[in-house]
Structure 1
Amino acid sequence: MSAADPSALPTATGERLVSLDFIRGIAVMGILAANIVAFGQPYMAYMWPGGFVTAHGPVSDWLWVAQFVFVDGKMRGLFTLLFGAGLVLFADRVTVRGGSTWVQVRRLGWLLVFGLAHYYLLWRGDILTLYALCGLIALFALRLPAVHQLAAGLTVYVFGAVLNSVQYGLMWAASEMSLGADPQYAPLARDAVAMLDGERADALREIAINTRGSYADYVAHALGDHRWNWIDQFTHTALETVPFMLVGMALYRAGLFDGRIDRRTQARWGWWGLGAGTAMTLALALWAVADGLTYTGTMFAFLGPQTLTRVPAILGLAALLALWAPRATGWLGRRVTAAGRMAFSNYLGTSLIMLVVFQSWGLNLFGALDRPKLYLVVLLAWLAMLAWSQPWLARFRYGPLEWLWRCLTYGRIFPLR
């Protein structure tokens, strides 16, 4: 089997970059902390605390601030950087082993299939479809010099972030400031009202389906009311995701993840980036609180300036975690690394577990838990990830879905044990 296609050889333990696995473990755990609100409350509550079914008091407001500053956008940003680095790593290994460059395209094609299944059958907050489509675009920049990847990625990213900031900033100003009295901007205020009314109507349908409906009703809601939302997500976030994949490619080429950069330099820039990004994001969060955590205010903060303020924090965190990874050899560090090696299985497995926890035919907790209690669910899920990933990899070469994805990519059955 290996002789027919050397690129299909499994990655040996010594070939793995521990830093990528370790950071991926942190990211997949953090993504659950970001998504838990949309699992356990109406989807509109993901950004806007007013979307909660339960009361959102002062404690929950400050937890919103903490999530906004330390989690939202940061974990997905880490994952996007790693995805870009992984595209280069995979392409390099396929080339060295004499495989076809089309292996990468098939791999992303199957990821799209997994993503669509996840979207329609488990949870419409899926990011796999986004990564598959954006990954196919990012492949065109795969062979560019690292400096060109970095320059193109940051330029396009900042352009998209500024564009969103202006768009949602004007909507906020038209809705909550005197700007809405100007006939030129009145349509923006009407658009904001229409968006909120639409989200509220959909939230009522979510509540009815998730608390009294069947699994068939749940799937029908995704296939009916939200059939093409994954395309909307792609069109709205491609200018963020593709550029950050390019940045991840450049950082991998530059040696951020494998120790080729001077440790002191990397640590210094890492702390500066994390500190500056966190401080700016905190200031933005406090502004949103002072604004009353309004619908258009939180949307503006999430989709506008935060896309800029979080960039230094993401890059700084990636630099620091890459330095820490080789020394994370204790009980917890090894288990986080194992969870990262099985990030695909853990990501989809978490969606399945959350479905059971919150749907009426499971534990029926949808809309019943406030923000602090939702974080307790996150903690239990983290413990489950850490508990099963390392024992599984002690017996098997891959996580279960990683194995299936590999078999589909190469069109053959690989030994799993």
Structure 2
Amino acid sequence: MATNSQPRIQLIDSLRGFALLGIFLVNITFFTTSLQTISFGVELWSGWYNEVLMLLRGIVIDGKFILIFSFLFGYGMVLLRESSQAKGRSFNRLYARRLTALLLIGLIHGILIWYGDVLTHYALMGFLLMLFQRCKPRTLLIWSVSLLLIVPVLLTGASLLNPASGQVFEPFSPADAHQMGIYFQERDAAIYGEGSMAQIIAQRLNDYIGSILNMVVFYPQVLGMFLMGAYFCKRRILHEVSKHRQGIIRLTLLGGIAGLALQLVMTLADGLPSWVEAAALFVGAPLLTLAYIGVFALLYQNKSWQKVLHVFSYPGKMAFTNYLLQSILCGLIFYSYGLGWYGTIEPVWQMLMAVVIFAVQVAFSRVWLKRLPIGPFEYVWRLFTYWGNPVKPRERVHISS
């Protein structure tokens, strides 16, 4: 029975850190803008540079990097199962404890720190992911594609059966929607930016419930990307990039061209039927995500590029800690118990702020990992998972290398 840990895959750590940056560039807006205002599509800031920046973010970043995280979650499940089997441990018990701990931390994060928490959703979908652990790669791929297509297929079918259902339904006029968006922004600024802790927690709980309800429609997409990551891991595609180079190139070209085209249609075209928007959102984003993964993997094989991209591996190895720290720091910046800058920072400075914070996290993670093998929240997470000391002496070599 083998007892040695699997060596860490530096590409996966770097890709996780890269995803963490993209997620933060999106999430920071939700710390300073009302959830309802965003839902109504209200633009609070003027200036061509803000408009261009948000347009580019919508096409290139929004919804793609969180899918990379989802992909890596499924990838990690397979790695943990293989490691558990090699050490003679019960994977089901380990993973159930791991997901339970993730769910508890996610609930604390969502209620007490930031309503946009994704950990809760990952934990819930993770229990469904366990059902697929023994599936062959081909089965995983079929289920993944099916889940990624289910929402646009259902909406398209509904529009064919009832053409009126595919038309765009606008419950409010643009003027009314704008006015309501401004109202919610002013209300939330008074609560998050100036209110008491009790007021903030009450509003955060409302937003957390609303965020969960909004996220349910994306559950098939999340599970689909989990399974795509599991498929890639079982096929060893990112373990052996050179061996699968031609397939990765074809996937990158297909995903990049088709995914970008669909994203451009969704972002730039007005008055699209609901089923067309669903296809652009639920098909275009995963395709572009896979293209990003492919490009990143191919570039990582070049030594010069690898030196550059390896920088992302430091926050990637502590992604759990850094994700939570981003929420804590943004709370201290935008909420009343900190600087109270809610609603006062325009998008261009939000993006710059996110980049600066992430750069600090890169430096912090690098220093931390030179002294300790895992991040503080990773330690807590593993403590729940393994019911004991989660760090083995040999792991210091693997993680800090």
- TM-score bucket (shorter structure): 0.7 to 0.9
1:29 to 21, 31, 37: 21
CA distance in 1, matches of 2:50, 2:343: 15
2:96 to 96, 105, 121: 105
Q: Deviations over 1:124-150 (max 9, x none)?
A: 011000000001111101111111111
**TM-aligned CA deviation for residue 274 of structure 1:** 1.8
Q: Paired residue for 1:132?
A: 123
What residue identity is the alignment partner of 2:300? Answer: A
**TM-aligned CA deviation for residue 61 of structure 1:** 2.1
8 A Cα contact 2:299 2:306, kept in partner = no
- The structure-2 alpha-carbon separation of the partners of 1:99 and 1:241, relative to structure 1 and needing over 3 Å to count, comes to same
What residue identity is the alignment partner of 1:50? Answer: V
Q: Paired residue for 1:185?
A: none
Residue 34 (structure 2) pairs with residue 42 (structure 1): yes
CA distance in 2, matches of 1:216, 1:325: 47
CA distance in 1, matches of 2:21, 2:273: 24
Residue 254 (structure 2) pairs with residue 259 (structure 1): no
Q: Paired residue for 1:248?
A: 229
Residue 349 (structure 2) pairs with residue 373 (structure 1): yes
CA distance in 2, matches of 1:388, 1:122: 21
8 A Cα contact 2:42 2:178, kept in partner = no
CA distance in 2, matches of 1:94, 1:364: 46
8 A Cα contact 2:37 2:182, kept in partner = no
8 A Cα contact 2:35 2:207, kept in partner = no
8 A Cα contact 1:22 1:325, kept in partner = no
- The structure-2 alpha-carbon separation of the partners of 1:371 and 1:190, relative to structure 1 and needing over 3 Å to count, comes to closer
Residue 324 (structure 2) pairs with residue 348 (structure 1): yes
Q: When the two structures are superposed, what TM-score results if normalisation uses the length of structure 1?
A: 0.83
Aligned residues: 386
Residue 233 (structure 2) pairs with residue 238 (structure 1): no
Q: Paired residue for 1:412?
A: 388
CA distance in 2, matches of 1:165, 1:125: 29
Q: Paired residue for 2:377?
A: 401
CA distance in 1, matches of 2:157, 2:53: 27
CA distance in 2, matches of 1:228, 1:173: 26
Unaligned stretches of 5+ in structure 2? Answer: 397-401
8 A Cα contact 1:38 1:45, kept in partner = no
CA distance in 1, matches of 2:319, 2:275: 31
2:109 to 114, 118, 127: 118
8 A Cα contact 1:48 1:299, kept in partner = no
- The structure-2 alpha-carbon separation of the partners of 1:156 and 1:334, relative to structure 1 and needing over 3 Å to count, comes to closer
Q: Deviations over 1:305-334 (max 9, x none)?
A: 222112221111112212333547766433
CA distance in 1, matches of 2:323, 2:273: 27
- The structure-2 alpha-carbon separation of the partners of 1:17 and 1:227, relative to structure 1 and needing over 3 Å to count, comes to closer
2:169 to 148, 169, 174: 174
- The structure-2 alpha-carbon separation of the partners of 1:241 and 1:313, relative to structure 1 and needing over 3 Å to count, comes to same
Residue 261 (structure 2) pairs with residue 279 (structure 1): yes
1:18 to 10, 13, 32: 10
- The structure-2 alpha-carbon separation of the partners of 1:119 and 1:233, relative to structure 1 and needing over 3 Å to count, comes to same
CA distance in 1, matches of 2:143, 2:224: 7
CA distance in 2, matches of 1:164, 1:400: 44
- Secondary structure of 2:297 counterpart: helix
The percent identity for this pair of structures is 25
- Secondary structure of 2:300 counterpart: helix
8 A Cα contact 1:37 1:46, kept in partner = no
Q: Deviations over 1:331-387 (max 9, x none)?
A: 643321111111101100000000011112322211111111111111211211211
Q: Paired residue for 1:308?
A: 283
What residue identity is the alignment partner of 1:254? Answer: R
8 A Cα contact 2:31 2:330, kept in partner = yes
Point out the more displaced range, 302-311 or 123-132: 302-311
After the TM superposition, which residues 178-197 of structure 1 pair with which residues of structure 2 at under 5 Å, given as runs? 189=171
**Pairwise CA RMSD of aligned residues?**
3.2
Q: Paired residue for 2:359?
A: 383
CA distance in 2, matches of 1:126, 1:303: 23
CA distance in 2, matches of 1:208, 1:238: 33
